[in-house]
Chains A and B, each alone.
Chain A
């Protein structure tokens, strides 16, 4: 898979584009300026839902040959689809909603993108400026509501500048540490007359990004790493966002340092490589967590040290000097103190570090130790004949059947953990999930955005029964758009992760976590016009997966799994990564 092309940078406005501009009809309204700004920024798809206050923008969209609108079933789905489009393509996904409920419905997806630094721009209708503040019909303070969960929220002021706002919001979403932006569009601004083309998209003049780290700092970090006895690389989502996966692979393989990823970093390093320890954290592999706990030098790249990764900070990599590469200075020493902070773009700083390394660290013994942990804590599961279908088997069988560049989307819960643990990831931008916000319902619309961003790649979405029910209406979109997506519902008739915690930490008091009233998802799929399969027995897994994959269009496998199956290994919340439970009864000992 190639490194993804970025949107054209502001300074790269070519003569060709200027020529193309002159062929386009001149901008005469604010709404046309909005559409033109999106075209100029290189947007391809818009995920949205119509409504009163956004109608002028949709009307302008009617004339755009370059922008394709995907009508979603719910605004939350529009924001998740745009988010996933951003993850897979590397460029900001675009979503539209009207004012009031349309805008508030987007908020979950915007907050999700903010937590995971996914590039996205949301455009919301707003009541006309003269009504703002009067509690008008479908008025909400969208800028006020979204400010805490965006890089910036804009309130468009006039028809002649609204296109500049949209261009700036688009460029900002893509720049530096990526993330969501929003432009609120009062109806009088979009309907009003405009007489100028929007400026080429450019980031705000106050926005600064440091691309390369200071050479002396890099040298010091390189020397610490080369001198380490037990070094480990921790590769975060920032490695994928910076298209630094190749640089990471070159670095790790040249200097023979074991690699752990965070969950968002899945795919940044091939899990089938001998240096890979897969991912660390609450449900990470035992060997990754042992390596993190015992390393004396942690090279962390593009990670914000989330608590689901670190467990309790007092016991996180307690012997390690930390080298932290991040493009966002505010992430340095926020949660874990960085002995060697290297601010800059992950790809560029990795190249700097590569050149600065004085020698290959002498760590044969440490690599052997890591291998011993791999043998000691293997990721295995049992498939006894007398027990129901195991979710791990479904995931593993699917992984074996599909090409390396297959994109996996998920909802949030136990199924998400199994999909990350038992699928073998080797390529960046093939793991599309909701990490920081942990949004149940992410999967169905995310798969739609992912498929449109990568139409030539296979897309499978693992979901849970609880998660699937939250956004199942998105199936209507997948059917209408004829998207070849395979949804696999790992159905245990429960909000399984909550139930797992109730069993482990609340004395088995299963309050509001069991779903004995669950619908038949295969029939529900058929009602939507998708293909439905019911899967209950292990011997039918392969053939069902084959049939679902062969069906040209969206299909849903309702996989009835062992309701007794839980997610392990597990580091209890706030615990020590070096002390994980491999099965239920280990939890009590921790």
Chain B
């Protein structure tokens, strides 16, 4: 007796004729957690020890003082995203984990500090990205841009013509469109 089948590296039985491999994709995990010390390190440590590829992680308070929301961008092949969600949900301070729809609202903020020699040109570029100059000195101009990751990427690229001195980006904040919300468990 000899087995004829085979599995891929993710333990999925495969048809030798049509091998399925999952390409990595980006997922936004909106996560409600207990607002208490140590939660951020617990979540970030989970991602590093299980080798989940994390793109960005933002955390902030919600309308409820006892809960905070983490918005986590990960890039993984399909079974990895499912694993990340389930492992995340297992952490005791985690209240709820939802993967947001690809159409969800996503915003990132960037502050870009460039050389101050051509303030008018800098302003013109900032306007193209719906941004504005928020600080200026004789040697520098700092611009604030808000928008999707792609828009910010493009803006940072555009500002390179002015000798970019420093960039800081927040990572994504995201919410589902329409009336859906992450309901707090009770």
Asked if A375 is at the interface of the complex by the 8 Å CB criterion, the answer is no
Inside 8 A of B94's CB, which chain A residues have their CB?
A: 206
Asked if B9 is at the interface of the complex by the 8 Å CB criterion, the answer is yes
Q: In the docked arrangement, what's the CA distance between A305 and B3, Å? A: 19
Find the B residue at minimum CB distance from A337. B12
Partner of B11, one of A206, A207, A294, A336: A336
Inside 8 A of B1's CB, which chain A residues have their CB?
A: 290, 294, 369
Find out whether the CB atom of B45 lies under 8 angstroms from the CB atom of A148.
Answer: yes
Asked if A335 is at the interface of the complex by the 8 Å CB criterion, the answer is yes
Interface size class of B (residues with CB under 8 A): 20 to 34
Asked if A127 is at the interface of the complex by the 8 Å CB criterion, the answer is no
Find out whether the CB atom of A318 lies under 8 angstroms from the CB atom of B185.
Answer: no
Find out whether the CB atom of B11 lies under 8 angstroms from the CB atom of A318.
Answer: no
Asked if A536 is at the interface of the complex by the 8 Å CB criterion, the answer is no
Partner of A206, one of B2, B49, B185: B185
Find out whether the CB atom of B5 lies under 8 angstroms from the CB atom of A318.
Answer: yes
Q: In the docked arrangement, what's the CA distance between A319 and B9, Å? A: 15
Asked if A316 is at the interface of the complex by the 8 Å CB criterion, the answer is yes
Find the B residue at minimum CB distance from A372. B1
Partner of A143, one of B5, B38, B83: B38
Given contacts A147-B41, A204-B92, A206-B34, whether A316 and B5 have CB atoms under 8 Å apart is: no
Find out whether the CB atom of A334 lies under 8 angstroms from the CB atom of B93.
Answer: no
Find out whether the CB atom of A319 lies under 8 angstroms from the CB atom of B87.
Answer: no
Find out whether the CB atom of B185 lies under 8 angstroms from the CB atom of A205.
Answer: yes
Find out whether the CB atom of A313 lies under 8 angstroms from the CB atom of B9.
Answer: yes
Partner of B3, one of A143, A293, A322: A293
Q: In the docked arrangement, what's the CA distance between A313 and B11, Å? A: 6
* CB of B129, distance to nearest CB on chain A (Å): 40
Partner of A330, one of B42, B49, B87: B87
Q: In the docked arrangement, what's the CA distance between A329 and B86, Å? A: 7
Within 8 A of B (CB), among A283-339: 290, 293-294, 305, 310, 313-322, 328-330, 332-337, 339
Given contacts A205-B185, A206-B34, A319-B5, whether A147 and B12 have CB atoms under 8 Å apart is: no
**Total A-B contacts with CB atoms under 8 angstroms apart:** 89
Q: In the docked arrangement, what's the CA distance between A352 and B45, Å? A: 38
Given contacts A314-B7, A319-B5, whether A206 and B93 have CB atoms under 8 Å apart is: yes
Find the B residue at minimum CB distance from A176. B90
Kindly supply a per-residue 1/0 record for chain B positions 1-44, scoring 1 wherever the CB is within 8 Å of any chain A CB and 0 otherwise: 11111111111110000000000000000000010011001100
Asked if A151 is at the interface of the complex by the 8 Å CB criterion, the answer is yes
Find the A residue at minimum CB distance from B12. A337
Inside 8 A of B92's CB, which chain A residues have their CB?
A: 151-152, 172, 204, 206-207
Closest 4 pairs (CB-CB, A-B): A318-B5, A330-B86, A336-B11, A337-B12
Chosen A-B contacts, 18 in total, with CB atoms closer than 8 Å, are A144-B41, A147-B41, A172-B92, A204-B92, A205-B186, A290-B1, A293-B3, A294-B1, A294-B3, A305-B11, A315-B6, A318-B7, A320-B13, A329-B86, A337-B7, A337-B12, A337-B79, A578-B3
Residues of A within 8 A of B (CB): 143-144, 147-148, 151-152, 155, 172, 204-207, 290, 293-294, 305, 310, 313-322, 328-330, 332-337, 339, 369, 578
Residues of B within 8 A of A (CB): 1-13, 34, 37-38, 41-42, 45, 49, 79, 82-83, 86-87, 89-95, 185-186
Other than A316-B7, A578-B3, give 4 A-B pairs with Cβ distance below 8 A: A206-B94, A318-B13, A319-B4, A337-B7
